[in-house]
Chain A
């Protein structure tokens, strides 16, 4: 969301330079658990050092830089499904333990000066919204990911629920509508007099959350699902 120029990231580029251009990539580093000093190391050497599948890193990093993946690059020879799932699990922790408490804390602070009844409604709306997000994340953790792991031949818990591509996709639309309503209310309609810094922080956090959720659904719909479909096909024919 802070992105300045669009840079198409390649393996021989210096990661630190890329972060200076687009600080949102810090999140990507966090999700890939890169917490060493990076000096002037290239993307390739950092991936090697941290045992990260280079194609996955490049594809995701370019998503953060605003480039959608090429359909032809998305296949199991090129992209490692386990790395994708591991990454997505990390993003879940970020939504639950970082973004949600952050926005919630700001909303709580609004009670000091603002009309209690309006803030109560906003809090309720945000909680409802986040419950929907949680439901989707739970579905992924309990139904989708175990199913994908089974396709990969990994040991996993046996799930009773059936995985459905359509159900997976439907979740995203509902989540996006509610978040857009909340942003519109705060930007256009609700004054919150005397609390502008708080209002700004909430709106910025919501944008950050939205931006990451959009990338999250892009990864699921345009990378993970095609890979899963390929795995399913191989299984049926193989």
Chain B
């Protein structure tokens, strides 16, 4: 997956407001993806599936669930929390957020606030190429070896083999063994003659 992409979850009960905000975000041409959630409890489910960088919430939703919200904030320190305000709210509540977007903000202001809120680690170089170790594991895989056999042959733990396999799938986007074989041949990692049909 594209690691420069910014994933934004919007927790807002009104579909109209969500569509408007999503339109502004997507047209700002930052590499971003917007998910719509109608309630706070759906966030956990989304976080299991994908990383989230920014959560925009209508404060009404957490007004009576502050402890729950604080727990979330503590668990997910990398997430930026932004409130989306279109009525009056207590300052004490709004102070819980890293930033506040008002429904009356201009498009530029909204985009600026969002850009400033995204904490993207610049040191995290986008590196989609397979490492030497991963190539080693891939080679044994396409030769038909099992996880256990690969671990023994390369003198690494079975746990490490599994983690390499996971990375290979994530980086190439290819899950099946025959698919990985074609990948290896096309990248000249292995030749056709050396692998079983």
How would residues 70 to 91 of chain B score, 1 for a CB under 8 Å from any chain A CB and 0 otherwise?
A: 0000000000000000000000
Interface residue from A177, A188, A189 paired with B175 (Cβ < 8 Å): A177
Q: In the complex the two chains form, what is the Cα distance from A178 to B179 in whole Å? A: 8
Q: A184 is contacted by which of B174, B181, B185, B192 (Cβ under 8 Å)? A: B174
- Among residues of A, the one whose C-beta sits closest to the C-beta of B187 is A189
Q: Note all chain B residues with C-beta closer than 8 A to A120.
A: 192
How big is the A interface, by class?
A: 10 to 19
Q: Which 7 A-B pairs have the closest CB atoms?
A: A181-B179, A184-B173, A117-B192, A190-B186, A181-B174, A121-B182, A181-B176
| Chain A interfacial positions (CB closer than 8 Å to B) | 117-118, 120-122, 124-125, 128, 177-178, 180-182, 184-185, 188-191
Residues of B within 8 A of A117 (CB): 185, 192
Known: A120-B192, A190-B186. 4 other contacts (CB 8 A): A117-B192, A118-B192, A180-B173, A185-B179
Interface residues of B (CB under 8 A from A): 172-176, 178-179, 181-183, 185-187, 192, 197
In the complex, the answer to whether B175 meets A180 with C-beta atoms within 8 Å is yes
Q: How far is the CA of A184 from the CA of B185 in the complex (A)?
A: 15
A118, A128, A181: the one contacting B186 at CB < 8 Å is A118
Q: Judging by beta carbons under 8 Å apart, are A185 and B175 in contact?
A: no
Q: How many A-B residue pairs have CB under 8 A?
A: 51
Question: Please, how many angstroms separate the alpha-carbon atoms of A121 and B192 in the complex?
Answer: 9
7 contacts between A and B (CB under 8 A): A118-B186, A118-B192, A124-B197, A182-B179, A184-B179, A185-B182, A188-B172
| Residues on A with beta carbons closer than 8 Å to the beta carbon of B186 | 118, 185, 189-191
Chain B residues with CB below 8 A from A185, complex form = 174, 179, 182-183, 186
- Verify B182–A125 contact, CB threshold 8 A: yes
* Measured CA separation A128–B181 after assembly (Å): 14
How far, in whole Å, are A102 and B44 apart by their CA atoms in the complex? 43
Q: Nearest residue in B to A120 (C-beta to C-beta)?
A: B192
Q: How far is the CA of A110 from the CA of B16 in the complex (A)?
A: 49
Residues A184 and B172 in contact in the complex (CB < 8 Å), given A121-B192, A189-B187? yes
Complex CA gap A181/B183 in Å reads: 10
| Contact residues in B for A178 (Cβ distance below 8 Å) | 176, 179
Alpha-carbon separation in the docked complex, A184 to B186 (Å):
13
In whole angstroms, how far apart are the Cα atoms of A188 and B172 in the complex?
Answer: 8
CB distance A118 to B179 under 8 Å?
no
Q: How far is the CB of B58 from chain A (nearest CB, A)?
A: 25
Instruction: Give Cα A118–Cα B185 distance, bound, in whole angstroms.
Output: 7
When C-beta atoms are compared, the residue in chain B nearest to A188 turns out to be B173
Give the residue name and chain of the B residue nearest to A183 (CB): B173
**CB-CB nearest in chain B for A121:** B182
How far is A124 from B192 in the complex, measured between Cα atoms in Å?
13
B193's nearest neighbour on chain A, judged by CB, is A117
- Which residues of A have CB within 8 Å of B178? 121, 124-125, 128, 181
Q: Are A181 and B185 in contact (CB under 8 A)?
A: no
Question: Which of B175, B178, B187, B197 has the largest number of chain A CB atoms within 10 A?
Answer: B178
- Measured CA separation A122–B175 after assembly (Å): 15
A185 vs B177: C-alpha distance when bound (angstroms): 13
Q: Are A118 and B182 in contact (CB under 8 A)?
A: yes
Q: For A180, list chain B residues within 8 Å (CB).
A: 173, 175
Q: Which of B173, B174, B175, B181 contacts A121 (CB 8 A)?
A: B181
Q: Which residues of A contact B185 (CB under 8 A)?
A: 117-118, 121
Residues of B within 8 A of A191 (CB): 186
A189 to B128, CA, bound (A): 12
- Residue ID in chain A nearest B128 by CB atoms: A188
Question: In the complex, how many angstroms separate the beta carbon of A52 from the nearest chain B beta carbon?
Answer: 33
Report the Cα distance A128→B172, complex, angstroms.
Answer: 21
Q: How far is the CA of A18 from the CA of B182 in the complex (A)?
A: 41
Output the nearest chain B residue to A192 by Cβ-Cβ distance. B186
Interchain CA distance A75-B137 in the complex, whole Å? 51
A59 to chain B, nearest CB (A): 23
Residues of A contacting B187 with CB < 8 Å? Answer: 189
Question: What B residues does A181 contact at CB under 8 A?
Answer: 173-176, 178-179
Q: Which residue of A lies closest to B191 (CB)?
A: A117
